[in-house]
Amino acid sequence: EVAQRKFGSKFTELNEEQRNAVSKAVPLKISEAEPVNIKK
pLDDT tens by residue, 1-40:
788 888 898 989 999 999 999 888 887 777 787 777 767 6
The domain limits of the chain are: 1-28
Residue 17: per-residue pLDDT: 94
CA pair distance 6, 22, nearest whole angstrom: 8
Residue 16: per-residue pLDDT: 94
Total Cβ atoms within 10 A of residue 3: 20
Q: Cα angle at 15 between 10 and 17, to 5 degrees? A: 115
CA pair distance 40, 27, nearest whole angstrom: 37
